[in-house]
Amino acid sequence: AREWHLIARPQGWPKPEDFALREVPVAEPGEGRILVRNRYFSVDPYMRGRMNDVKSYAPPFELDRPMDGGAVGEVVASNAEGFAVGDEVLHRLGWREYAEVEAAHAAKVDSSVAPLTTYLGVLGMPGLTAYAGLFEVASFKEGDAVFVSGAAGAVGSQVGQMARLRGASRVIGSAGSDEKVRLLTEEYGFDAAFNYKKGPVAEQLKEAAPDGIDVYFDNVGGDHLEAAISSFNVHGRATICGMIAQYNATEPTPAPRNLALVIGKRLRLQGMLVADHNALRPEFVREVSGWLRSGELKYQETVVEGVERGVDAFLGLLRGDNTGKMLVSLDGA
């Protein structure tokens, strides 16, 4: 079976040569473990940080070892109580065709309740990030005007729709193509959206939010954060979720030049890690499942076919090739 190894630490933008797809034997599951045939694995922006050899909230990938990350698949051999051949599971050993997983680190899922892919997306880690980041971290309340960057992505597309469903006065999104901008206003019910590549973010945001914003959900950093600080009303709150605009930077990036506005406007800029919000999961699954069933909440996935295209999928994610959750399908195998 094949698995992806990191073989060199990228400087700036990762290159295909930094990775290798290697053939390895498929192990029988050890005591308390299961063997899973992966059907989908996730590629996520945070993985870029794990390619650097620096201490962070997620440990760095080791060189010449398999990379890992979220995956869903089917149990093909079990040496653990409570797991049988044919069970579907969510686990953390992605980037490979077969995963030998400690059963305690696998969670059963059910593709008859929701499509298998959604456990990596709208009902999984990115969905919970949106839900917790908006409702807990940003203390969203009805009537708030909400701005979200990366708004056509896995997290951002959910943030904007969740804000609308809970009674935001106005929802504004930014994304990197006209097609994505259209999706936001025509399908996802955003009140306004703009293409950040087409003009200064600050000006476009002012135009889209003439009465200012109360919540900013930051997936991007850089000029987006600076623009949000300028557009904030007093007591505005930002969830600092991601700063993808600087993940490939080789030099320190400038801070928002208008940071002093935080004082007079009494702003709150709050970082978040989704792992802190597991207690919210049952409520998240209940409410989001309801919205999905009623059709009020929509989502998209961009599925790249074939383990051999895993790195292409990851590089494409960093470039914005995806709409909604970026996934790699192994089902053709």
Using rule CB under 6 A, residue 273 touches ligand NDP: yes
Cα–Cα distance between 291 and 160 in angstroms, integer?
14
What distances in angstroms separate CA 58 from CA 19, 96, 158, 217, 225, one per listed residue? Answer: 19, 19, 24, 22, 24
Using rule CB under 6 A, residue 123 touches ligand NDP: no
User: Which residue in 150, 160, 236, 310 binds ligand NDP (CB under 6 A)?
Assistant: 150
Partners of 41 in beta bridges: 71, 328
Which residue lies nearer to ligand NDP by CB, 231 or 322? 322
Which range in 11-19, 59-67, 242-250, 305-313 contacts ligand NDP by CB under 6 A?
242-250
The interface mask with ligand NDP, positions 35-74, x = CB under 6 A, is ---------xxx----------------------------
The answer to whether 274 and 128 have CB atoms below 8 angstroms apart is: yes
Which residue lies nearer to ligand NDP by CB, 50 or 164? 50
Using rule CB under 6 A, residue 202 touches ligand NDP: no
Which residue lies nearer to ligand NDP by CB, 103 or 120? 120
Which range in 59-67, 84-92, 111-119, 239-247 contacts ligand NDP by CB under 6 A?
239-247
Using rule CB under 6 A, residue 241 touches ligand NDP: yes
Cα–Cα distance between 99 and 26 in angstroms, integer?
8
- Three-class SS string for 30-54? CCCEEEEEEEEEECCCHHHHHCCCC
User: Which residue in 38, 78, 117, 129 binds ligand NDP (CB under 6 A)?
Assistant: 129
User: For the purposes of burial, counting CB atoms within 10 Å of the CB of 316, is it exposed (0-12), middle (13-18) or buried (19 or more)?
Assistant: middle
Cα–Cα distance between 145 and 93 in angstroms, integer?
39
- Closest contact distance (angstroms) between CB of 26 and ligand NDP is 29
Residues contributing to the site for ligand NDP (CB under 6 A): 44-46, 126, 129, 150, 152-156, 175-177, 180, 219-220, 241-242, 244-245, 272-274, 317-318, 320, 322, 326
